[in-house]
């Protein structure tokens, strides 16, 4: 029997997770990647001699399948450092994920008592994040810990956001389970350490891609299929440069909006639902900072809605424990969000000046001097889980699932704020299902 021929669209973590499983399962795999390099949003690049990512890209090793992948492809070539991430909210610095004792220490007994009293007067549950939080923790906790965070991150009110986002927000999505997270909090066990390959986060997808190729897979960079070939309602290949190339199955990690009505004809209501799924962009300003380590966290997050700055990553915080501070570091400052935010149109020099001023105001530059800047605009990278988007996503995914020969997965196929490891796992799970079916 011949090996099944599978096309994978996208060489980000999800596409490579799928390809990793498919080549090992004996499939003949071709990965089509529109960009000139692999890694998608998890790729690394070098600025002023420092390896950086799109923002912080914190990775935790909390899944056995990821552990096996990591051991095989990365081995010991990584640093592991204690997690240190903080949020500036209401003028106070809190550890994140939130820790009960830290909250009491930082916000004080009176405010804690107000939150506790609020938790006793919980509101009714509902489909949105505001109801979800107030039903479990009360309104003061919503205002203190959640509301500004969500406004800044997603550009929407908690009442507009789907309740399902709570798991991601509260850190549960990155833990093995809610129960495990609760046990960790009860034991006051430390957060698992965060890990980063020596060549940056992008080293993981790079090595995954090299392994796929070493096992006989094909990687076609700079190649974006124009359409999916289909016959009698089933997908049977991809169209590249006007030619149909036959495959037994296509695994797509492109967005549902590109897939439904773009790569493949779809009913009008499905196209409308896929296009209505909101994605938000990020403007990243990298600042080269000389002298003085501004802060020791991998990232800090500023929730104050009057400030355009959001998350700030510090790449020097990946220094192995006990290594001396580097004379220079790079900070990645996330600015703005919505693609119609005037900041998106501002000249790079203005964005860089704005980022520097914000950091000085917040006393996050310490004694450091900014000696260089670089601006990147990443449009449509963050799914905004508005209320009702779950129903819309389910409808589009149900349409995809009934098409023989096609699987959609990954951050943009699932329309979820997945992390790198979760995206890899989505790809792996999709590949398992494909191998079982072909």
Ligand X SMILES: Cc1cc2nc3c(=O)[nH]c(=O)nc-3n(C[C@H](O)[C@H](O)[C@H](O)COP(=O)(O)OP(=O)(O)OC[C@H]3O[C@@H](n4cnc5c(N)ncnc54)[C@H](O)[C@@H]3O)c2cc1C
Interatomic CA distance for residues 184 and 369, integer angstroms = 40
The answer to whether 12 contacts ligand X (rule: CB under 6 A) is: yes
Nearer to ligand X, 118 or 419 (CB): 419
The answer to whether 81 contacts ligand X (rule: CB under 6 A) is: no
Interatomic CA distance for residues 428 and 438, integer angstroms = 15
Q: Is residue 29 a contact partner of residue 269, using CB atoms and an 8 Å limit?
A: no
Q: Are strands 5-9 and 28-33 parallel, antiparallel or unpaired?
A: parallel
Tell which one of 56, 103, 386, 406 touches ligand X (CB under 6 A): 56
Q: 203-214 and 64-73 helices cross at what angle (nearest 10)?
A: 80
Helix (H/G/I), strand (E/B), else coil: 383: strand
Nearer to ligand X, 97 or 410 (CB): 410
Please identify, among the stretches 48-56, 72-80, 180-188, 360-368, the one whose residues bind ligand X according to the rule CB under 6 A.
48-56
Binding mask 391-430 for ligand X (x = CB under 6 A): -------------------xxx-----xxxx-x-------
The answer to whether 58 contacts ligand X (rule: CB under 6 A) is: yes
Q: How far is the CB of 57 from ligand X (least distance, A)?
A: 4
Please identify, among the stretches 12-20, 65-73, 347-355, 368-376, the one whose residues bind ligand X according to the rule CB under 6 A.
12-20
Please identify, among the stretches 26-34, 97-105, 158-166, 300-308, the one whose residues bind ligand X according to the rule CB under 6 A.
26-34
Nearer to ligand X, 33 or 358 (CB): 33
Helix (H/G/I), strand (E/B), else coil: 118: helix
Tell which one of 8, 9, 47, 375 touches ligand X (CB under 6 A): 9
DSSP 3-58: PPEEEEE--SHHHHHHHHHHHHTT-EEEEEESSSSS-GGG--EEETTEEEBSB---
Q: To which residue do tokens 């090996």 refer? A: 3
Instruction: Work out the burial of residue 187: count CB atoms within 10 Å of its CB; fewer than 13 is exposed, 13-18 middle, 19 or more buried.
Output: exposed
The answer to whether 55 contacts ligand X (rule: CB under 6 A) is: yes
What does the radius of gyration of the chain's CA atoms come to, in whole angstroms?
22
Interface with ligand X: number of residues (CB under 6 A): 36
234 to 273, contacts with ligand X by CB under 6 A? 253-254, 258
Binding mask 282-321 for ligand X (x = CB under 6 A): x---------------------------------------
Which tokens in the block code for residue 110? 């009176």
Nearer to ligand X, 60 or 115 (CB): 60
Q: How far is the CB of 7 from ligand X (least distance, A)?
A: 10
Residue spans of beta strands (DSSP E) within 158-315: 194-197, 218-221, 227-231, 234-240, 243-246, 249-252, 279-290, 299-302, 309-314
Interatomic CA distance for residues 192 and 344, integer angstroms = 36
Residues that bind ligand X in the complex, under the rule CB under 6 A: 9-15, 32-35, 40-42, 54-59, 224-225, 253-254, 258, 282, 378, 381, 410-412, 418-421, 423
């Amino acid at each position: 029997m011949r090996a099944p021929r599978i096309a994978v669209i996208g060489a980000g973590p999800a596409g490579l997770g799928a390809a990793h499983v498919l080549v090992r399962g004996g499939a003949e795999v071709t990965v089509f990647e529109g960009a000139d390099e692999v890694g998608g949003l998890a790729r690394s690049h070098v600025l002023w001699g420092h390896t950086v990512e799109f923002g912080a890209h914190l990775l935790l090793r909390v899944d056995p399948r990821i552990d096996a992948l990591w051991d095989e492809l990365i081995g010991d070539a990584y640093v592991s450092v204690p997690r240190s991430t903080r949020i500036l909210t209401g003028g106070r610095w809190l550890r994140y994920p939130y820790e009960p004792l830290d909250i009491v220490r930082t916000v004080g007994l009176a405010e804690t008592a107000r939150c506790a009293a609020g938790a006793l007067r919980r509101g009714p549950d509902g489909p949105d994040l505001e109801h979800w939080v107030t039903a479990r923790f009360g309104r003061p906790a919503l205002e203190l810990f959640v509301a500004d965070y969500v406004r800044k991150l997603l550009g929407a009110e908690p009442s507009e956001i789907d309740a399902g986002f709570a798991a991601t927000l509260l850190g549960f999505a990155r833990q093995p389970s809610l129960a495990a997270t609760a046990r960790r909090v009860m034991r006051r066990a430390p957060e698992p350490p965060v890990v980063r390959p020596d060549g940056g986060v992008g080293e993981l997808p790079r090595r995954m891609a090299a392994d796929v190729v070493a096992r006989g897979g094909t990687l076609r960079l700079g190649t974006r299929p124009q359409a999916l070939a289909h016959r009698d309602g089933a997908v049977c290949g991809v169209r590249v440069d006007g030619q149909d190339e036959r495959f037994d199955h296509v695994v797509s990690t492109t967005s549902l909006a590109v897939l439904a009505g773009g790569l493949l004809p779809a009913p009008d209501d499905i196209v409308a639902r896929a296009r209505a799924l909101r994605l938000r962009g990020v403007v990243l300003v990298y600042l080269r900072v000389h002298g003085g380590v501004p802060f020791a966290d991998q990232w800090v997050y500023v929730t104050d809605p009057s400030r355009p700055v959001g998350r700030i990553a510090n790449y020097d915080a990946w220094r192995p424990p006990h290594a001396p501070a580097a004379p220079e570091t790079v900070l990645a400052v996330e600015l703005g969000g919505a693609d119609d935010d005037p900041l998106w149109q501002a000249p790079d020099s203005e964005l860089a000046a704005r980022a520097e001023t914000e950091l000085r105001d917040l006393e996050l530059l310490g004694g450091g001097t900014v000696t260089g800047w670089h601006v990147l605009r990443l449009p449509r990278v963050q799914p905004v889980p508005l209320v009702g988007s779950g129903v819309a996503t389910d409808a589009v995914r149900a349409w995809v699932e009934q098409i023989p020969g096609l699987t959609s997965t990954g951050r943009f196929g699932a329309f979820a704020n997945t992390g790198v490891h979760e995206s890899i796992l989505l790809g792996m799970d999709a590949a398992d299902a494909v191998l079982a079916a072909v």
